[in-house]
């Protein structure tokens, strides 16, 4: 019997020129640097975008992008490539340090019209980081209800900001890092998803912002969480971003970075300090340098 073996069509590989085009597009829009090892990632992340747009393959999608003026599909492609991995109370230890030491230290000694606390989560992805901070403030610092407390969160991805604003998470997302007690207290189940309460949503102001490009007018901040963002930039961009965000911090203000990130050898105007088991970077005053 002569059985015919079905022929599997292997995807056409992305050419160097097509990869270079994608790399420049991502860099131009977000400053995220992709090296050659990321070809597989570009392929995997663009495939659903191609399918959604009714385009046969990733290579055809890139050709389409190359031959059309910048538009919605370009934005979707860039936002799909940029890593947005996050979770509630990610890494846990820095949040404990905030709760037990950093926030009490900031609050100590602020009286009268001085009683304000400003926090910015930059590169907030789908919102778990700023909402973790908001829930922590609500749980542990009831006295802040009489303070001027401002919590800003920003990201370059409009898609992520929409998700953040809606505050709606899958079962898997709420299972990652969120204590069950907080889920019950601050979330409402809506079918197969969980939505964070309005009370917590209203504590956070979300802003579209590119750390490498846009000027942001914010009041000086006490705490800036910019975690797992610098890691995707090249050295020159890391320096430039650190220089910009330092100007947003109050003297002595606290910068939180991801566990694989540092300001060392990039910007000596931050001082690395241990707080409990966590590491923070404090913006030095001119005299302290
Ligand atoms: C890996 S996530 C980190 C999320 C969260 N900070 C955390 O640690 O869980 C990185 C986020 O940085 C954002 N991002 C990348 N480049 C950016 C830029 N130039 N300006 C602002 N946000 C950027 C991405 O869109 C993404 O949501």
CA distance 124 to 161: 8
Report CA-CA distances (Å) from 174 to 73, 116, 126, 218, 271: 30, 30, 12, 30, 34
Q: Are 210 and 156 contacting, i.e. CB atoms less than 8 angstroms apart?
A: yes
Give the model confidence (pLDDT) of 79-96 as tens digits. Answer: 999 999 999 999 999 999
Return the percentage of the chain with pLDDT > 70, whole number.
Answer: 95
Atom of ligand 1 nearest to the CA of 83: 1
The architecture that CATH gives domain 16-81 is Orthogonal Bundle (1.10)
In the chain, where the domains are located: 16-81, 93-283
Residue nearest (by alpha carbon) to ligand 1 atom 14: 123
**Spacing, Cα 125 to ligand 1 middle (Å):** 6
pLDDT digits (tens, 9 = 90+) for 98-108: 999 999 999 99
pLDDT digits (tens, 9 = 90+) for 136-174: 999 999 999 999 999 999 999 999 999 999 999 999 999
**What would the two tokens of residue 19 be?**
């990869």
Instruction: Kindly report the three-state secondary structure assignment for every residue of 160-171.
Output: HHHHHHHCEEEH
Q: Which CATH superfamily is domain 93-283 in?
A: Vaccinia Virus protein VP39 (3.40.50.150)
List pLDDT tens digits, range 33-69. 999 899 999 999 999 999 999 999 999 999 999 999 9
| pLDDT band, very low/low/confident/very high, at 109 (cuts 50, 70, 90) | confident
Cα 150 to ligand 1 centroid, rounded to whole Å: 20
Evaluate whether 182 touches 170 at the Cβ level (below 8 Å).
no
* Number of C-beta neighbours around residue 136 at 10 A: 17
Q: Which among 151, 156, 236 is the best mutation to test ligand 1's pocket, defined by most ligand atoms within 8 Å of the CB?
A: 156
Centroid of ligand 1 to alpha carbon of 226 (angstroms): 8
Kindly provide the b/e burial profile for residues 205-217, where b requires at least 16 CB atoms within 10 angstroms of the residue's own CB: ebbebebbeeebe
Mutate to test the pocket of ligand 1, among 29, 77, 125 (most ligand atoms within 8 A of CB): 125
Ligand 1 site residues, Cβ closer than 6 angstroms: 30-32, 82-86, 90, 123-125, 129, 155-157, 160, 209-212, 227-229, 232, 258
Confirm if 127 and 204 have CB atoms less than 8 A apart: yes
84 Cα–ligand 1 center, Å: 6
């Amino acid at each position: 019997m002569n059985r015919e073996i079905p022929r599997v069509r292997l995807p056409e590989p992305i050419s160097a020129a097509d990869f270079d085009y994608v790399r420049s597009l991502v860099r131009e829009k977000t400053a995220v640097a992709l090296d050659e090892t990321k070809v597989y990632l570009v392929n995997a992340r663009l495939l659903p975008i191609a399918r959604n747009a009714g385009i046969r393959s990733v290579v055809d999608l890139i050709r389409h992008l190359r031959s059309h003026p910048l538009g919605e599909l370009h934005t979707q492609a860039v936002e799909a490539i940029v890593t947005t991995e996050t979770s509630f109370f990610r890494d846990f230890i820095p949040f404990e340090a905030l709760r037990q030491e950093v926030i009490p230290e900031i609050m100590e000694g602020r009286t009268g019209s001085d009683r304000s606390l400003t926090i910015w989560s930059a590169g907030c992805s789908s919102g778990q980081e700023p909402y973790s901070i908001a829930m922590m403030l609500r749980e542990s610092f009831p006295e802040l209800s009489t303070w001027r407390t401002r919590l800003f969160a920003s990201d370059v991805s409009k898609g992520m900001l929409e998700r953040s604003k809606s505050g709606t998470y899958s079962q898997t997302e709420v299972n990652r890092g969120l204590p069950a007690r907080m889920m019950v207290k601050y979330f409402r189940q809506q079918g197969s998803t969980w939505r964070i309460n309005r009370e917590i949503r209203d504590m956070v102001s979300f802003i579209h912002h590119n750390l490498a490009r846009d000027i942001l007018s914010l009041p000086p901040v006490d705490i800036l969480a910019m975690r797992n963002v610098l890691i995707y930039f090249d050295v020159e961009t890391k320096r430039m971003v650190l220089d910009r965000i330092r100007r947003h911090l109050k003297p002595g203000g606290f910068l939180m970075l991801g566990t694989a990130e540092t300001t060392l050898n990039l910007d000596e105007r931050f001082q690395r300090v241990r707080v409990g088991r966590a590491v923070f970077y404090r913006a030095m005053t001119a005299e302290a340098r």
